[in-house]
Structure 1
Amino acid sequence: MNNKILMMIELQNGLNDATNGKEWTKGITKNGKKIDWRRCIYMECAEMVDSFPWKHWKAITAEPDWENHQIEVVDVWHFIISLAIEEYTQNNRGSLEDIAVQISNSNTLNKIETTEESFAPIDAVLEKVENLIRVAISKEAVDLDTLFGEFFDLVAMSGLNLDSLYRLYVGKNILNQFRQDNGYKEGTYIKVWNDKEDNVVMKSIWETNSDVTPEFLYEELSKVYVTLV
């Protein structure tokens, strides 16, 4: 079992518990709001498309925003993990560790267990994003193997590997948790830190540390944030 995959699954489960309530796997938040992870996936994928100059009538010489695209890839991963946990729970398929085992034993993970990081042609990336949308909006029972396979294809095509996906995921997950703990829902959270958005600060922390742990990142965010309030 890949420990980084398990860590991401455990972090996502904890974040969902904190933000949606302990019974979120039933498809309802603690406030009675319906949860639709498939919709989250395809809407995030639609935002991903806008990282590229796909419009033939506007900004036709613009460069692709690969950095933003990678962030969107990580956001989609949050929702895919959540859908997998919901699927396993509702159908009594096993634990969080069992999900990690399923992913680790699949051939699809091999695509990103590499040191290589390169960008695929834009049209190929967009086609892969649209494949992921088709899987997400299907009315059939969720096929996690296909969903994971399409996603890891996209990861590999987006200049990411398992290590960089892990670092970005941990960063965004912990930042989301940090926001919740510091008044995000109440509207009191400060998002711009000394003229920099918190996303930028978070990314700079993990870029300067080769092996970021969730605890370390949260502590470093706290050190900076306490100087603002």
Structure 2
Amino acid sequence: MSELTGRAPGELVQPIILLVDRVEPADRDAGIAAAALASVQAYLHDPGQAGWEPWAAGAFAKSVRRADAKMFAKVLAAFPDHALAVVGRARAAGLPPLPAEALPKLLAKLQVSGTQLPAGEPLALQPLAIVLNGSLDMSTGKAAAQAAHALFAWVLEAKPAAVEAWVADGCPLSVRELPAKEFRKGARKSAGPVIQDAGRTEIEPGSATAYVATA
């Protein structure tokens, strides 16, 4: 199933480009965190930019695409309004929303499905964490998109002072993946909305995928 399946004409999507180095790939959790941070930092850099308001008022769709080092550098050069997030060896670039059916060729040719990074070491625990539903067996790319949904939803719904304090502290973020029972239990005390996937790729529609938790 394509990620474009079921999209309405003119629907906006936020591209997030994840560096997947062929020689020294980043760890999975670092890549997921970088993608989520790139998404929200692109918005926080200029929330008044055209496209953000109608996009955020909808499903704030995202498309996580992978690029090797050469293509990643080309994306950074071609889109100067990107936000670059760095977590360990992981790098991700978040862009403002674009029409899903008319992505620039440089972005459109980047792969979406099958993006995987090695498990590696878990990130150090932080006061703000993205919690993922480990029972869904999501690819790195899918998990990154769901993490970005959860973090963006928290940014939109949290008290402005809480977001400002988090940004002032350098946007610390960790990623946790829990079994279904623990995920559901923690979701009752989540700091933001529990994300339910539209089911366009990998998992069933309505699956609860991610939420933000605070210490």
Instruction: Decide: shared fold, TM above 0.5.
Output: no
* Largest Rg, 1 or 2: 1
- Which structure shows the higher strand fraction? 2
Q: Which has the higher contact order (CA 8 A, sep 6+)?
A: 2
